[in-house]
Amino acid sequence: MSTTRAIINARLVDPASGQDGPGGVLIEGGIIAQIGTELDLDAADEIIDARGCILAPALIDLRCAKEPALTPDGETVDTLCAAAMSGGFGTIVLAPNARSPLDKADGFAGMSRGLAQRGVRMLSACGATQGLAGEQMAEIGLMVRGGAVYAGCGDRPIRDTRLMRRLLSYTSQFDVWLSCRPADSDLSADAVALESDWSARVGIPSEPAVSERIAIERDAALAELSGGKLMIDRLSTAAGLDALRHVRGRDLEIAATVAIAHLTLNEVDAGGLDSAFRMDPPLRSEADRMALVEAVTSGEIDAVISDHRPTPFDDKGEPFALAIAGTLSLETLLGAMLGLVHDDELSLLDALRVLTSGPADLLGLPQGRVAVGAPADLILIDGDKPWVCQPDGFASARGNSAWSGRRFQGRVLQTIVAGDTLYNP
């Protein structure tokens, strides 16, 4: 990209530097060349007047999924990319899951190169164990050489403590995060809900919140022993948050992510047993949700993730307790997050930090910030524009959304990656 573009008169919000004020950027060769209110506009081939709009770094998602290639009507790389662009994402990471374990070293480098050809920066994590079965290590070293940005355990925790120790130890030599769902395998076996008044009354298999706390304490102890980097994948309870605070006092590298569903929904949303609200981890109590939002403000959460999960049937085809877990969320994440800002639960800077510089710093990425020399991955947002979530209008190939019918305030106007506008409805 050789043209020089300027974006002026915006409200520039950059969590990395803490800046929130009038400003703009000058983009040269896909890189941010100047920042501020006094840009050298003579050099610009194009000037975008962003009066009344928020200019922020493009969002980064550490955990999303497509469907296996050739799945009829499935979420492909193309539809996933389109969903990411319209959601304001400049960088997304494919994470392993049972349908797409990303555990084969053969062809991994080729896949990474293919993903890099898309407008949105698509990266891939790798599966940490063969078939994500939690029994044998996958060829993590070869996949990291092939471009994997972290190793993930998928949806299920690693039950075998000795294997977890070895995984943390083995991944430490590559300086990559091992991302693992914090749950005790036996306490959480077959659970589809939190152990609570509601789940007891409706009689569905449930897990106690301490399951998360036990797992975090175990895995943190192993990370301390082995020197590995532990990423708590989808923290969801206040009990887990207590454990995180407790272990952070020790000498270990630990990061925590929270899925947007657990920041904005709770078990009451699932009260009607609508399969759309079947999540993994299950939706928690309102007290848990509020504790997680406060932890975003206090900086204890490193990244908020979409955990975007297309499923074969829009209504999931089965009743709540049998339904596939997960929801689409790339296209609704920003709207849901801005909802917390409008409700005064979060500041805009804190809300954007866990979606930009937070995840970028975990992976050592140069983007996710408005800084001279950084890649020009940016979004323009109308922070107040009202809209209604209608999955029929999604760029995603599927329609399973937990936010279907919700009213949002705030929408992406443009998604810019490496200086190119990819999305401009």
Partner 1 sequence: MSRAEFSYDFPHRHLVSVADLNPVDIQIIFERAAHHLAANRTPDKRSDVLRGLTVLNLFFEASTRTQGSFEMAGKRLGADVVNFAMANSSASKGESLSDTARTLAAMKPDIMVVRHSATGAPQFLAERTGLSVVNAGDGMHEHPTQALLDSFTLSQRWGEVGGRRILIVGDILHSRVARSNIGLLNILGAEIRLCAPPTLLPSDVDQWGCDVFHDLDEALTGCDAVMALRQQRERMSGGFVPSEREFFHLFGLTHERLEAASPDVLVMHPGPMNRGVEIHTKLADDPEKSVILDQVESGVAVRMAILELIGANIRKEAVA
Give the list of residues 6+ apart from residue 128 with CB closer than 8 angstroms, or none: 96, 137, 138, 140, 151, 152, 153, 158, 167, 171, 178, 180
Rounded-to-integer distance, Cα 251 and Cα 248, Å = 8
Based on the shown chain and the rule CB under 8 A, indicate whether residue 140 belongs to the binding site for partner 1.
yes
Based on the shown chain and the rule CB under 8 A, indicate whether residue 141 belongs to the binding site for partner 1.
yes
Active-site residue identified among 14, 103, 233, 307 = 307
Give the list of residues 6+ apart from residue 205 with CB closer than 8 angstroms, or none: 190, 191, 192, 193, 321
Based on the shown chain and the rule CB under 8 A, indicate whether residue 147 belongs to the binding site for partner 1.
no
Based on the shown chain and the rule CB under 8 A, indicate whether residue 208 belongs to the binding site for partner 1.
no
Maximum alpha-carbon separation in the chain: 68
| Strand 407-417 relative to strand 303-305, pairing | unpaired
Q: What's the min distance (Å) between Cβ of 97 and partner 1?
A: 20
Among 109, 137, 187, 202, binds partner 1 (CB under 8 A): 137
Among 76, 172, 185, 347, binds partner 1 (CB under 8 A): 172
Rounded-to-integer distance, Cα 216 and Cα 207, Å = 15
Active-site residue 45, yes or no? no
Based on the shown chain and the rule CB under 8 A, indicate whether residue 161 belongs to the binding site for partner 1.
no
Nearer to partner 1, 142 or 290 (CB): 142
Based on the shown chain and the rule CB under 8 A, indicate whether residue 142 belongs to the binding site for partner 1.
yes
Q: What's the min distance (Å) between Cβ of 220 and partner 1?
A: 17
Of residues 211-230, those binding partner 1 (CB under 8 A):
225-227
* Contact characters 173-202, partner 1, x per CB under 8 A: x-----------------------------
What is the end-to-end Cα distance of the chain in Å, rounded?
A: 21
Based on the shown chain and the rule CB under 8 A, indicate whether residue 139 belongs to the binding site for partner 1.
yes
Based on the shown chain and the rule CB under 8 A, indicate whether residue 163 belongs to the binding site for partner 1.
yes
Rounded-to-integer distance, Cα 45 and Cα 365, Å = 28
DSSP H stretches of helix in 39-136: 77-87, 108-115
Nearer to partner 1, 51 or 162 (CB): 162
Answer whether 15's CB lies under 8 Å from 352's CB: yes
Among 72, 117, 162, 344, binds partner 1 (CB under 8 A): 162
Based on the shown chain and the rule CB under 8 A, indicate whether residue 109 belongs to the binding site for partner 1.
no
Rounded-to-integer distance, Cα 356 and Cα 374, Å = 13
Of residues 243-262, those binding partner 1 (CB under 8 A):
none
Based on the shown chain and the rule CB under 8 A, indicate whether residue 30 belongs to the binding site for partner 1.
no
CB atoms inside a 10 Å sphere around CB 248: 12
Nearer to partner 1, 30 or 227 (CB): 227
Nearer to partner 1, 98 or 137 (CB): 137
Of 11-19, 79-87, 168-176, 261-269, the window that binds partner 1 (rule: CB under 8 A) is: 168-176
Sign of torsion, CA 349 121 401 190?
negative
Q: Which residues bind partner 1 (CB under 8 A)?
A: 105, 130, 136-142, 145, 162-163, 166, 169-170, 172-173, 225-227
**Catalytic residue ranges:** 307
